[in-house]
Structure formats: C-alpha cells, structure tokens
Amino acid sequence: MSRFMLSYTEGSSVIHRLCGATKFIFFLLWSAVAMTTYDTRIMAAMALLALVLFGVSRVRWREVSFIFALLLLFMGFNLIAIYIFAPEQGVEVYRTRHLLFAGYGRFTVTAEQLFYLANVLLKYCVIVPPALLLIVTTHPGEFASSLNRIGVSYSIAYAVSLTLRYIPDVQRVYLDISRAQQARGIELSSRASWVKRLKGAAAILMPLLFNSLERIDVVSTAMILRGFGKNRRRTWYSYKPFTFADIAVITVSVLLTALCLWITFKDGDRFYNPFI
C-alpha cells in the first residue's frame, strides 16, 4: 500500500538537514525558472542538477519509482495531446519548417515539432524530481511550519499537514470497509463489469466519507479547545533557525535564478532556437 504513496523517509543527508522553509524557497524559485524558460541549455543543466540532488539525498529509487512512473505516463499523454491539437506548434514557435515526414493530412512530422516536444518533456523532468525530493525529505511536522514561514496562513498550512497525516489512516479504514463490503458481495476486481465496480466503489466511499467527516468534526473541536485560531499568528515547536547551509542555499538559488532568467531573456525570446 505504502509504495503508492509518497511519504517522508528518514535520512541524514545535507538535504534532509536543511530547514523545510529553505527547501520550499528553493523549490518555488526552481519551479519559477522551469516554468518560464524554454531554453534547452538551462533546462538540460537543471535536469542534470536535479539528478545530482537526488544522488546527494541518498533517497532510494524504489521509494519514488512508482509515482515517477505514474507521472511519466501522464507526461506521455500530455505530449500526445499536444501533438493532436497542434501538430505544427514547433513551426510556429521556431519560425522555420524542416519537414521530416509528410504524415497524414495536418499530422506532419517536423524537426521543430520534435524539438518542441522534447523541450516540454525536459521541462517536466526538471520540475518533477525536486517536487518528489521536497516531499520525501521534509518531515511532515516541518511541513506546516515551513509553509507558514514562507507566507501561507497557518490554518491552511495546518490543514495541509493534517491531511497528509491522515492519509494512511483513511487508507486503513478504506481497506477495512472494502473487505467488509466484499464479504457482502461487492466486487471491485476486474472480474466485475465496470458499472458494478462503480456501484461498488460508491458503496465503500459513502461510509468512508461520513467516517472522515465525523473525524474532522472531532479534530476541529479538539483544536479549538486548545486555542487554535486564537491569534493571528502562532509559533511552532518544530521551528529551526536558519543555519549557514540554509542561507547559502537560498543565496545561491536566488543568484542562479537571476542568471537563468537573464540567459533566457537576453535574446528577447523564452525559446532557445537551434534552427536559425
């Protein structure tokens, strides 16, 4: 069950020891650059750097492999969709047209389109690994305080971290409910038709939903009784002051962000164009 879920795994690498807030700031800057730029050289460098970070963190591949495979599948669908809706998007972007294969009707194959799709894929490869790394190396207790530290309101930050925490519990309840329902003949395996499976899923989700709502009710009462929401701000037991490493990482990432953005925009275009 746990292999389907991303969760914090203990470790002692430099990345594990950084403040959660530092990792959040790094991730925000990193994604900002990755979203903005289409400069192949920068993205390739970032993808390489992401691999290095993974190595440094000593996170085991099998912990993230499932979710990574899932995301790859999703990327694949996305690339196909881009091609179907705009087979000559690359031509428009790079303003040249090298036809490799005439194809069928509007579905041509151009060097520009292939290069454009490769860039989109590269972009995902740049954004996804650090996101996984952030989740796997940040202690859930630090999640809320880090979100709060970078400006998210503490009630939202706490809601996010409580949700993350209750996922395993909800999974367990789901499993219990689904087995009790299977005993009554609700079939969720591939042997049943999809209509039956859909009905079966509803029969499990309804009690699960009510169960979760009940729980939310009690937890919010418990939180109010202990003063949650009393003040506009709150402090955090798990607060860690920034260390030299944190400040260094933040400084370097700000500088690198500036550099990347400068390289990206210096020729007036977000795209690196090898065709001209």
Partner 1 sequence: MSTKENLILSLKKFSFQYRSQSLPTLYDIDLEIRAGEKILIVGPSGSGKSTLAHCLNGLIPHLFTGKCEGEYLVQGADALRLGVFELSQNIGTVLQDPDVQFVGLTAAEDIAFSLENSCVEPALMRPRVAAVASLVEIEKHLACEPRDLSGGQKQRVSMAGVLVEDVDVLLFDEPLANLDPATGVHAITLIDAIRTSTDKTVIIIEHRLEDVLVKGVDRIILMDEGRIVADMSPDRMLSSSYLHSAGIREPLYITALKYAGAAVTEDMHPSHIDTIELGRRNDSSSAASKLAAWDIANQQGPSLRQHEVLLEVRNLSFVYPGSARAGKVVDDVSFALHSGECVSLVGRNGAGKSTLAKLICGFERENSGSLILKNRDIRNDSIMQRADHIGYVMQNPNQMISLSMIFDEVALALRSRGISEGELTERVNQALDVCGLYPFRKWPVNALSYGQKKRLTIASIMVMRPSLMILDEPTAGQDFRHYNEIMEFLHRLNRDEGLTLLLITHDMHLMLEYTTRAIVVSDGKILADESPARVLTDDALISAASLKRTSLYDLALRAGLPQPQQFVQHFIDYDRRVRSR
DSSP run (H or E) holding 156 = helix 154-183
Q: Which of 29, 18, 51, 37 is nearest to 269 (CA)?
A: 37
Report which of 78, 15, 12 is spatially closest to residue 49, judged by C-alpha positions. Answer: 15
Is residue 197 a contact point for partner 1 (CB under 8 A)?
no
155 counts as binding partner 1 under rule CB under 8 A: no
Give the pair of three-digit tokens for residue 236: 């955090």
* Contact string 62-101 vs partner 1 (x = CB under 8 A): ----------------------------------------
Selected binder of partner 1 within 65, 153, 193, 221 (CB under 8 A) = 221
Which of 132, 148, 158, 1 is closest to 65 using CA atoms? 132
Q: Which residues contact 216 (CB under 8 A, 6 or more apart)?
A: none
Nearer to partner 1 by Cβ, of 51 and 202: the residue is 202
Among 13, 78, 97, 141, binds partner 1 (CB under 8 A): 141
Q: Smallest gap, in angstroms, from Cβ of residue 183 to partner 1?
A: 4
Burial pattern 184-212, b for ≥16 Cβ within 10 A else e, equals: eebebeeeeeeeebeebeeebeebeeebe
Q: Which is nearer to partner 1, 176 or 269 (CB)?
A: 176
User: Which residue, 69 or 202, is less far from partner 1 as judged by CB?
Assistant: 202
Q: Is the dihedral of CA 260, 264, 270, 275 positive or negative?
A: negative
Under rule CB under 8 A, residue 102 binds partner 1: no
- Answer yes or no whether residue 235 interacts with partner 1 by CB under 8 A: yes
Judged by CB under 8 A, which stretch of 11-19, 75-83, 179-187, 251-259 contacts partner 1? 179-187
Task: Quote the CA–CA distance of 105 and 32 in Å, as a whole number.
Answer: 37
Q: Which of 14, 86, 223, 263 binds partner 1 (CB under 8 A)?
A: 223
CA distances 252 to 16, 109, 256, 259, Å, are 18, 41, 6, 10
* Among residues 61, 237, 244, 262, the one that binds partner 1 under rule CB under 8 A: 237
Closest CB to partner 1 among 84 and 206? 206
Whose Cβ is closer to partner 1: residue 7's or residue 251's? Answer: 7
Rounded distance between C-alpha atoms, residue 188 and residue 100, angstroms? 47
Bridge partners of 38, per DSSP, are 271
Q: Does 11 bind partner 1 (CB under 8 A)?
A: no
Question: Under rule CB under 8 A, how many of the chain's residues touch partner 1?
Answer: 49
Least spacing, CB of residue 85 vs partner 1, in Å: 41
- Binding residue (CB under 8 A) for partner 1 from 37, 119, 161, 253: 161
For residue 108, the surrounding DSSP H or E stretch is: strand 107-110
Nearest to partner 1 of 36, 181 (CB atom):
181
**Chain residues that interact with partner 1, rule: CB under 8 A:** 139-141, 161-162, 165, 168, 173, 176-177, 179-187, 202-204, 206-208, 210-211, 214-215, 218-219, 221-231, 233-239
